[in-house]
Chain A
Amino acid sequence: MSSQAKAAKPAKPASGEKALKWILGITLAVGGILVILPFIWMILSSFKHEGEIQNIPPTLWPERFTTENFKNLFENLNFGVYLKNTFIIVLFSFFGLFLNAMAGFGFAKYKFKAKDKLFYLVLATMMIPGQVTMIPVYLILNEMQLTNTMIGVVLPGLVGAFGIFLFRQFMSTIPDELLEATRLDGAGEFRTFLQIVLPISKPILAVQGILAFIGGWNSFLWPLIIANDEKLYTLSVGLSLLKGQYGGNYALQMAGSTFMVVPIIIIFIFFQKHIIENYSISGMK
């Protein structure tokens, strides 16, 4: 028995492995279809007429394609304004990214008093749940008379400990000699940062930039809390408003969702390698 099993072994793992790979591949494919299904349903439904959406049984493929829902978003609802606000928030989040990079550089390349303590303090802010700071931040912004302003919407989430941490990790690998050399050439500290450090940090800047874009594009909670005025709503807030007002018009809701989700998916697929590797690097070290 045992000798027979031993004899068969060299050939068996190869075919067994292949069969296992097929089984895993098929399992993953079924799971993958389930994962994509909501997106497909969303996109196809957004091109259906309002009446068709209420067909029983539902149709998967639209009987007649229409872009009427998308037109509706911009003509009858304020999606143009929401889009503009969302872009403003994205721009601010790039500025926040720059501030994170500056702080990362400060922590990576200088020695100063209480440096470690301050860095731990920065990391500690990651542990604070948003629900605890939500109300006091609103009160603080109210004291600063920033409620219902764009500044008030962007300030609370402008910088983040995780970004600072990633920049510090990356920038500590820049050789000190390089920085010393530029200093000897008479460049100031800020110029060294702009002209030497930032260009070297391009890989991490790119990844963080994409993530900042996605974060800004998706921002929901602060615009919801701070903006009382529809003029300051972002796409997310506008969409949740649309769901409240046009609860039965699923075609319109799907068009709004498609408008928010598809650009992000395109950006993600385009940059997926960088985004996924960013987590692979930072995740477990």
Chain B
Amino acid sequence: MPSRPLSFLPTWLRSARVLIGIAIVSAIALCAIFAPQIAPHDPNEQNLLSVFLPPVWMQGGDPAFLLGTDSLGRDVLSRLIFGARVAMLVAVLASFGAMIIGATLAYLAGYFGGRIDALIGRAVDVWMSFPPVILSLILMVGLGIGLRNVILAIVLVDWTRFCRVLRSEVLVIARKDYVAAAGLLGFSHWRTITSEIVPATIPLLITLMSLEMGVAVIVEALLSFIGFSVGAQTPAWGQMIADGRQYIYDSPWNLILPILAIFLAVFGFNILGDGLRRTLDVRVSAQRT
């Protein structure tokens, strides 16, 4: 084999997309975990003498506030770093919850087929016919405000993505002779699903999870923008956009920076998911070689 770059890595990592995605996502995750250590200021510390400071590279910037301050003189950089906590928490928990519900139903539908498949399929159809934003707003109104309910709303809206995509994959695998063979050798249904079907769908699950995390970040930002998410004392990116929107002409950076943070996070999750789809999916890699 002619030597290829990155050949010391396992195959699924040998992709620029995956590496860039991992770099971005892990940087944000580190910010979230070590926010109190990294952030230069308390995110809620008000400094009314220096409000609307621009970032340090602009004229009038203050080196003490690298990305400037907002309308109450709070440090934007610190708020962005703490905002990553909410974003990552929602991304991980919501996509995990959606995966559990969606994947379980997909395994049942794809493996047993017939009426169970038809029932679950129709449920997904009905569920998906609601516009997702409206559905999550209705759920939020019903469930009440709060981070836990934001996560719940995302789970209840987005499990259908997992279910639909995964079901077609499970259908293909369930028709393989090795699944029939497992039954003939005496494997129970539960065992056949867990030991023969689930491992084959792990690559797809990882990919879907990664993409779903990007979606969850956006939905959380949307809900905190309209004030349905965390309270005012917890910094969140959506909230920062809502605040910055009022002073868009005085201090555009207050609006641009949280948007960039969301963009970066979603971009990181998407490029990671896209890269993983290419490297983990045997069908795509078979086409390339």
Do the two chains bind?
A: no
List residues of B whose CB falls within 8 A of some A CB. none
Residues of A within 8 A of B (CB): none
